[in-house]
Chains A and B, each alone.
Chain A
Amino acid sequence: MTITAPIRPLPATPPVTSPPRRRRGSGNTDGPRTLFSETEIGRGKGRVVYWLVLALVFLLFLTVFIFPLYWMFSSAVKTPEEYAQPDPTFFPQSFVPETYQLAWDRMRIAKFFGNTALYAFGGWLIQIVFQVGVAYALSKLRPLFGKVVLGGMLASLMLPATALLIPAYLTVTDVPIFGWNLLNTPWALWLPAVANAFNIYVLKRFFDQIPNDLLDSAALDGAGRFRVLWSIVLPLSRPVLGVVSIFSIVAIWKDFIWPLLVLQDPETQTLSVALSRLASTSQVPPTQLMAGLAIASVPMIVVFLIFQRSIIGGLAAGSMKG
């Protein structure tokens, strides 16, 4: 039930804003005023209560949000016997890191990981090319009926993805005009991913802020439309390209129901769909399944830790992904 596409992006804020710099350390009073004042929290009884609450909230977050991940990574290194005993052990008493290796090879996580990486990077590339093309044309070339095209694309944000699932599936089995059957091919994920109005909207709004004078003077120097895009617009748009790239890669990595439908051949499946299938069979040892889950999570955790500013900032700016 992830919020996969916003119905309509929240207005006003420019697409890329870094979150407000958070305060470091303690005791400095230059931060924004919140419900409680510094004096209420900083001395006497308030101070004790504050530290108590802080400790409790910290423990709560640790237990609820971090512990399940710790559990996933640590369960995978237990022996199947230890894993299955009725009283679970907090610290693994056995240590079998080879389970990860087994999952990677024998459960063929490597294959599905490779598939997913191919889908994510291919999808990212094709999305960036097509979506930048549309956004640039709509923002800077301003063709006839450009408003109609933009309106048609934004209208698709109103459509819940699931309502289109069945007809979109049938379309992929037999693409009109071309007559292609895209089932079990990467194109079944790549091409529909391009139809993401949110990215186009974000890109267009960013391009709109680039002054036309800049482009005009380049055009006077003899640069063509493509040259202007390549050497002026794109270098200036690095931050927004970064945000759009992260969101499109994460979206493909996390997607479940669409790849479940269009990639039914096990050889072509994504990691998520393969894990779902393997979890329903009884042949897979549960520790290897845990290792599989951990491997599927690592890329997303890494992406998040590296790009958390852009991701959280993009979220705060009104993009409701995830």
Chain B
Amino acid sequence: MAVATAGPRPALRSRLGRKIQDNLMAYAFMAGGIACFALFSWYPLVRGVILSFQQINFVTDPYWVGTENFSAIFNDPLFVTAWKNTLVFTGIALIFGFAVPLGLSILINEMRHLKGFFRVAVYLPVMLPPIVGVLLFRYFYDPGFGLFNTVLRGVGLPESQWTQSSSTAMISLVLVSTWANLGGATLMYLAALQSIPGELYEAAELDGASAWRRLRHVTFPQLRFIMLVLLLLQIIATMQVFIEPYQLTGTSNPDTVTVMVLIYRYAFTVNQDFGMAAAMSVLLFVVLAIFSAIYLRVTRDRD
């Protein structure tokens, strides 16, 4: 009897010990990764919210200022301008960035030749460092000797001031940004197009549907999900626009100040005011979180 009860106990203890050891081992494997997440992702999230109610001067400890940062940004005349500009940018970028990749992908998908070339060409600008596209276009946009005005002159159209006039500055920024980014969406549409079962087209054709009707009643319904996903992703990405206005029109140009540019301005140029920058970031975060939540819902329903 004594032998029998003594039997399982050490085994149990050793199994427990084994389990603890296994867990320690697992966390040892994860330690570096968890530390990086904690320090550079989880902690800044909390800190950002706290900071939006604080003031910091790098000499003394941060101190609480209540909602002063928020009232300061609400009273800044650039606040409304920045949001308006960001919405305009996002809006124009959607018109181009949504329709063009869709059209291009449908075209590429119909091509029986050079498909590889089309795929590579459309994605090439996405691979370049963003600053390269922006600075190239800065030259193209030059009102004096830039390429775009040379072409416009050549075909007898009126020249444009591009980034240097307040009426065309925004659309110029959208053009660069669309050129540099549409490859990703195009290739994703293309992948979705290739997964549409061919029988659907055949059946529609047998029923006498014209190419236009096949496009409307087969292609578009099949793409609906990816269209929605890319629409949301694009809204989220374009609302964070920074490099184009930063490099092409400068951070102090009210025509093109966007939310991100304003955050940069608050923290790093004029004001050196990290509290205001953090408050602005919190607002941007809330707006983007709404779209993220919709995105999450949409993709989860699909599972």
Contact digits for A143-163, partner B, Cβ 8 Å, 1 yes 0 no: 110100100110010111111
Q: How far is the CA of A305 from the CA of B277 in the complex (A)?
A: 40
B214 x A35 contact (CB < 8 A): yes
Contact status of A256 and B51, CB under 8 A, knowing A32-B194, A149-B34, A160-B240: no
Selected from A8, A26, A33, the residue in CB contact (under 8 A) with B295 is: A8
Cβ contacts under 8 Å, A64 to chain B:
179
Given A66-B124, A289-B135: A133 in contact with B114 (beta carbons within 8 A) = no
Asked whether, in the complex, the Cβ of A293 is within 8 Å of the Cβ of B135, the reply is: yes
A22 in the interface, Cβ–Cβ < 8 Å?
A: yes
Interface residue? B99 (CB, 8 A) = no
Q: A8-B295, A11-B299, A36-B110 are in contact. Are A163 and B27 (CB under 8 A)?
A: no
Taking the closest CB of chain A, its distance from the CB of B209, in whole angstroms, is: 11
Q: Which residues of A contact B37 (CB under 8 A)?
A: 152-153, 156, 194-195, 197
Nearest CB on A from B41, distance (A): 4
Inter-chain contact A167/B188, CB cutoff 8 Å: no
Query: How many pairs of residues, A versus B, come closer than 8 Å at their CB atoms?
Result: 334
List B1-44 residues whose CB lies under 8 Å from chain A: 22-23, 25-27, 29-34, 36-37, 39-44
Asked if A26 meets B115 with Cβ closer than 8 Å, knowing A1-B238, A66-B121, A133-B29, the reply is no
**CA of A311 to CA of B268 in the docked complex: distance in angstroms?**
35
**CB <8 Å contact, B177 and A195:** no
Partner of A275, one of B48, B93, B131: B131
Query: At the interface, yes or no: A2 with Cβ under 8 Å from chain B?
Result: yes
> Are A86 and B144 in contact, CB atoms less than 8 angstroms apart?
yes
- The interface residues of chain A lying within 8 Å CB-to-CB of B219 are 35
CB interface residues, B 118-135, toward A, < 8 Å: 118-133, 135
CA distance A65 to B185 in the complex (A): 15
Tell whether B285 is near chain A: CB-to-CB under 8 Å.
yes
Whether B120 and A166, one on each chain, are in contact in the complex, defined by CB atoms closer than 8 angstroms, is no
The 0/1 profile, CB within 8 Å of B marked 1, for residues 103-131 of chain A is 00000000000000000000000000111
CB-CB < 8 A to A160: which residues of B?
236, 240, 284-285, 288, 292
